[in-house]
Structure 1
Amino acid sequence: MAHVRLLFDNFTLALLAVIAIATFLPCEGQGAVIFGWATTLAIALLFFMHGAKLSREAILAGAGHWRLHLLVFACTFVMFPLLGLALKPLLTPMVGTELYLGILYLCALPATVQSAIAFTSLARGNIPAAICSAAASSLLGIFLTPVLVMLLLGVEGEAGSTLDSIGKIVLQLLVPFIAGQIARRWIGAWVTRNKSWLKFVDQGSILLVVYTAFSDAVVEGLWQLIPLSRLLALTLVCCALLALVLWLTHFLARRLGFNLEDRITILFAGSKKSLATGVPMAQVLFASSAVGMIILPLMIFHQIQLMVCAVLAQRYAQREEPEPSPEVAASKG
């Protein structure tokens, strides 16, 4: 597997550049309308490609490990939200009400797919189970995240009902994903051959959504509302939240008797939050002027989780394999 970078990678630098462009050259008026339509198409393309890339055989291979999947889903959709609520008295004075809502939104999101699988593979964990858990978490999030957002934030989406928000998300995310799965029969081999440059389609879609969201937020006075001290506090909060979640997932997996490969999978699949899903969902669930503030904690948490999990994955990868027992050695001989 390619070396996992520990420092800022090209995509992170591109994200920072897009935020800078949105700060000084935000899209407004008719330009904002055009970018809004482009964003909708980009999100559909993003999830179509996710569907086309994901192998159903790989998902089925790990589907039987139900105890592992239940723990991952519990960490993602129960433990994270409960932590967000429990830490409110501490977090709100540190980052303010608006950014705290962004932290709650982060806690309601599904896990990542690509990076959870990549880190599990690098760390020599249970890869089929990681593929199944991450993919199922992403699909469950389409239905669970709007409900959790309503419960945690009291937000019911632009049209005024949770069901309407779920319907929009299904139309914008799940339908293109299913279309990609269907099209995989004809384009799967082509997608596999061109993975190296198709990732730019994914990244370009996210960058477009981020630019549109931050443009709206800048027009509404985002940077006047968030001083540097609050950004630093938010970064520390994201670091502390990730550290707590990593410890809890590791503790629970060990306490429940999972082997090392499964514990690695639970650690990486249960502690991560998806930028690729979170940014498009925010476009549907929140008013356009609020999206920039809402996704800012997610963007910071995303980068921190990549750097920290890269270090952890490399440490696991360097472990020595246990010596086989005499009986196993004899049977192989």
Structure 2
Amino acid sequence: MKLVTFDLPGGQRHIGAMLAGEQRLVDFTASSTSPAMRNMLALIDGGEAALKEARQLLDKAAVTHALADVKLAAPLPEPRQMRDFLCFEKHFRQARANRHLFGATDGERDPAKVEIPPIWYEEPIYYKCNRFSVVGTGADIVNPAYCQMLDYELEFAAILGKSGKNIRKEDARSHIFGYLIFNDVSARDQQMREMGGTLGPTKGKDFDTGNVLGPWLVTADEVGNPYDLTMVARVNGEEWSRGNSGEMHHRFEDVLVHASRDETLHAGEFFGSGTVGSGCGLELGRFLKHGDVVELEIQKLGVLKNRVVFRHASQ
């Protein structure tokens, strides 16, 4: 199923699922009095019983809306926790090679000669995102006042469907509820400054509209193998980035094993893949400007589309 959170014209927020053709959706909240159909976290918390009911509601299609008549929100508007990992080696190398853009090195470097810290290969590293700054497809990405180099990041994410601690690798896939597209918007100049202090990122990532999720949350059964998905980014219709999810060095199973070491993970948590190789402007030496329209497309997961807005006159 392609699960959605959406706002009706009167402002009521409901959940549902897309019908074939992706032009209409079934309204689960209006079709059922079940507490599991109130919001996406409730549906995830409901486990297999709630998923079974959702599939039945989708088949009946008792209450539907045209996609054009509602406003999609982020499928999971407020995840219980957000962790974003750095799983693609090509991105790591190319991003480090381009630090000369910020004066961090004397000149451009060969990505193949960039030194990667040994710990990156030993375990999946991550930071925790601001789970309150989430928006969905169609929302404006508002450039923070302190940023001159705004960047997109082409990522996807897994949403946890089952809580666990010290999760075994062979069991990890069964904990995943579904997948969605993630645009990890970055204030690159701020990020480069603050990470010189060996902690962070902080304000390079944490600002309103900085975490874009959507357009829908696709259940794991519909995705099948998550490690062979074509990933593409376009800006104003021009392709900037292309990669494949199979290039992940650390996969979601590794991520869940590591994150759950002596720590309980909860249903409804978000785990980002990190940026696919060549999947951001930093790697390409180009950044976003006012009015740009960014489209991130991942096979089986849809298209996440947003406009960039610079609201500060000095920019």
TM-score above 0.5 = no
Question: If each structure's strand is expressed as a fraction of its own residues, which one has the higher value?
Answer: 2
Question: If each structure's helix is expressed as a fraction of its own residues, which one has the higher value?
Answer: 1
Q: TM-score, normalised by structure 1?
A: 0.25
Higher relative contact order (CA 8 A, sep 6+): 1
